[in-house]
Amino acid sequence: MPFKLIKKSKKSQARLGKLKTAHGEIATPFFMPIATKGAVKNLTTTELKKLGSPILLSNTYHLYLAPGLEVIKRAGGLHRFMNWPGLILTDSGGFQIFSLSKIRKILPGGVEFYSPIDGSKHFLTPKKVLEIQKNIGSDIAMILDVCPPSTASRKEIERAVAMTTKWAQKSKIENCKLKACPERGRGIENLFAIVQGGLHKDLRLKSLNDLVKLDFDGYAIGGLAVGESAKEMYSVLDYLVKAMPSNKPRYLMGVGKPENIIEAIKRGVDMFDCVIPTREARHGRLYLWFDDLSLRGGRLRRPTKQSQRLLRFARNDIWYQTINITNAKFKNDFSPINNTNLKSYSKSYLHHLFKTGEPLAMRLATLNNLDFYLRLLAEIREAIKNNRL
């Protein structure tokens, strides 16, 4: 069994676990920086390793289109191609494909679409998506699913659930064939199915039950954080997560803000990814602990002790703040950007870099935000260990 449950919190449904993969073991819960096309924007893999990230998320659809499978195969897989020693999870690309509503067609056997790069025609099937991920060298692979928009009707969501289950069956059969046929290469050791169903409880539970019968290595919750309110998302998690197998990892796709992650972990979720820390960094929006905020009375605020911060998590107190570093008030703020990995640079300096269009601005902001998110998950794991979350 690749996943081992280590501990359940006495205070909530939060839990600690270990997930084994071909490129090492990872502690849950964890957050995955987004390396959609084989790179986290503005950072090197050396910097990501120094930040302490054990895993990255890349996208099957984008890598299939560019640089293409042949290039990745000749490079010896995506790990070697991007010089990354850690784990890689690959999303199937279903979300990206289905967002191309004008240039794709959903068929019983898969998805036909035209490349937004050169207009070429492609047809992705559950089998082909697995083969692509096998060549990429994915440590964790998502099956092809149908991801309906948040505005979809119940009938559309019912069709999406049925199609997702049908493709899951094909994916499971194909992966078993790969494992039983060494000359075709190894099968994927951590193959995850994706639960759909929108905000409809009966469809969500049907989707989950149908997929659990197929016995995947992990289960993801798709189709959330796509326009619904946080209250609606939590409502789905309240009944869905506790119905998911306790001996398999649970992955909430595309979420989210720090408070969303904490609330999901308290409900029993183990894995997260989101573009927020990297995308907002490019626009000068920084995520900061309270002990990283600006000067007060000419001196830095006293750092918040970790134990105090963990209690704030549990009480839902305010424990972080976002700032827009391009705001004029930071022009003369010479306090450090943060008190961890960027304490040698001032907020004033970063403000100057953004105002003058220096590329270093986005690099430093990205380093700050990913450090924040990765430390957040480390502190959450500590809080669960101590029964404070």
Cα separation, 346 vs 333, whole angstroms: 7
Q: Which of 217, 273, 292, 333 is catalytic?
A: 273
Judge whether 383 and 314 are in contact, CB under 8 Å. yes
Cα separation, 290 vs 185, whole angstroms: 50
Torsion on CA atoms 213, 217, 221, 222, rounded to nearest 10: -100
* Six token digits for residue 3: 């996943």
Residues pairing with 18 in the sheet: 4, 27
Q: What are the φ/ψ torsions at residue 347 (nearest 5 degrees)?
A: -65, -35
| Nearest in space to 235 (alpha carbons), one of 259, 263, 207, 256 | 263
Give 235's contacts (C-beta < 8 A, 6+ positions apart). 199
Q: What are the φ/ψ torsions at residue 8 (nearest 5 degrees)?
A: -110, 135
Does 371 qualify as catalytic in the annotation? no
Does 210 qualify as catalytic in the annotation? no
Q: Which of 91, 139, 145, 333 is catalytic?
A: 91
DSSP 3-state percent helix, strand, coil across the chain (nearest 5): 40, 20, 40
| Nearest in space to 267 (alpha carbons), one of 96, 133, 389, 168 | 389
Which residues are known catalytic residues? 91, 273
